[in-house]
Amino acid sequence: MPASTPPPIEYDPRFESLEEDEGDTQAELLDVLHGIADTTFRDSGRPLRSVHAKSHGLLKAELHVLPGLPRTLAQGLFATPGTYPVVLRLSTTPGDVLADSVSTPRGLAVKVLGVRGERLPGSENDSTQDFVLVNATTFLNAGPKAFLGGLEVLAATTDKAPALKQALSAALRKAEGLLERSGMDSAALKALGGHPATHPLGDTYYSQTPLLFGPYMAKVALAPVAVGMTRLHGQPLDITAMPNALRQAVCDYFAQQGGEWELRVQLCTNIEEMPIEDAAAEWPESVSAYVPVARIVAPPQAGWTEALSAAIDEGLSFSPWHGLAAHRPLGSVNRVRKAAYEMSARLRARRRGAPIVEPTSLDELPFGP
């Protein structure tokens, strides 16, 4: 870490606090997410996720923990140098499967296999560590109640008026473009369909909410570092050319070359400026910069296939609560999301007629040679 960076603060339970009526909000949240899943299952016959239903890239990779990390960074998964197999899932946020011309924020879920150590409740028999990331630095909502309000809007439009959504998305992208040219942006406009039409492999993805990092607290980011990927940052993509333009762009890239990302950690060094319970709060990089702890390297490959979709989209679940106790998610938004992830996995397993289990090897998935 840079010498000028203050030392990280150790976690204290006082940094977390229940939001008023948090239990009631969680129950309502589960009802809304269940309703989204009911709607999409009724209309499509497929056991889709309530959010991030559509995948655009399904990739195999390896995570390499960097050697020589200082003690503050050599925590949990990153305590010692090593190499782990990884599954990556690129997605967009809606719970219904839309044409890519409805341009919404992108997600990148990371599942690291073969991870040993004290486990989080509910994942005691597993050996995976998940990181669930989105291409924005902060969560759209500060707390569970605001999160619930946003999901209720999403639920009201699920599987309705796809042509209208495409037209609205085009208008919102123009509005977002005007904001960005004036030096601003709007997370709300992006969430509603105004995300810029750019290549998803050029984006940096963030945990948005904090997690334990051994005795400390941190946020996590995954930034592209392969030259071919850094050139894609902000690169326009014609998302109106075909319904699966994002997926095709990912497949075209990985058909020709591999990818590489740097996994970075931002340690909490000032609890006033870097709060735990406000999920919408920006942690200033001027106070604590993101620093690398590992690299994820993906070879050239298919990028997405129907067989992989059946195995990963339908057969796996991704949750920040799959993992080590040393990386426990923090804050009220993460607390209510734990039950949501668990409910979603149970519901999808029942509807597909097969359990959703954590993989122990990439050989269990149809990646091919």
Q: Measuring CA to CA, how many Å separate 165 from each of 40, 180, 248, 265?
A: 16, 22, 21, 36
pLDDT at residue 79 in the model: 98
φ, ψ of residue 41 to 5 degrees: the values are -70, -40
Q: How many domains does the chain have?
A: 1
HSE-up of residue 68 (Cα within 13 Å, Cβ side): 1
Residue 339: CB atoms within 10 A of its CB come to 16
Q: Is residue 5 part of a domain?
A: no
**Token pair in block for residue 68:** 């020589």
Q: What is the pLDDT of residue 36?
A: 84
What is the number of other CB atoms lying within 10 angstroms of the CB of residue 138? 18
What is the domain range of residue 358? 13-364
Q: Are 107 and 130 in contact (CB under 8 A)?
A: no
Instruction: Note the pLDDT of residue 43.
Output: 83
| Letter string b/e over residues 194-205, b meaning 16 or more CB atoms within 10 A of that residue's CB | bbbbbbbbbbbb
First to last CA, the chain: 39
Q: Please, are residues 304 and 89 in contact by the beta-carbon 8 Å criterion?
A: no
Compute CA distances 120 → 49, 123, 306, 326, whole Å. Answer: 22, 6, 32, 8
CATH code for the domain in which residue 262 is found: 2.40.180.10
In a domain, 2, yes or no: no
Which stretches of the chain score pLDDT less than 70? 1-4, 153-154, 156-194
Asked if residue 153 is part of any domain, the answer here is yes
Tokens of 61: 């990779």
pLDDT at 174: 44
Query: Any idea which residue has 């149809």 for tokens?
Result: 366
> What count of residues does the chain have?
369
**Does residue 369 fall inside a structural domain?**
no
SS3 string, the chain, reads CCCCCCCCCECCHHHCCCCCCHHHHHHHHHHHHHHHHHHHHHHHCCCCCCCCCCEEEEEEEEEEECCCCCCCCCCHHHCCCEEEEEEEEEEECCCCCCCCCCECCEEEEEEEECCCCCECCCCCCCCEEEEEEECCCCCCCCCHHHHHHHHHHHHHHCCCCHHHHHHHHHHHHHHHHHHHHCCCCCHHHHHHCECCCECHHHCCEECCCCEEECCEEEEEEEEECCHHHHCCCCCECCCCCCCCHHHHHHHHHHHHCCEEEEEEEEECCCCCCCCCCCCCCCCCCCCCCCEEEEEEEECCCCCCCHHHHHHHHCCCCCCCCCCEHHHCECCHHHHHHHHHHHHHHHHHHHHHCCCCCCCCCHHHCCCCC
In a domain, 7, yes or no: no
**Which amino acid, one-letter code, is at 318?**
F
Whether 6 is in a domain gets the answer no
pLDDT of residue 207: 97
Pick from 147, 155, 173: nearest CA to 277 = 147
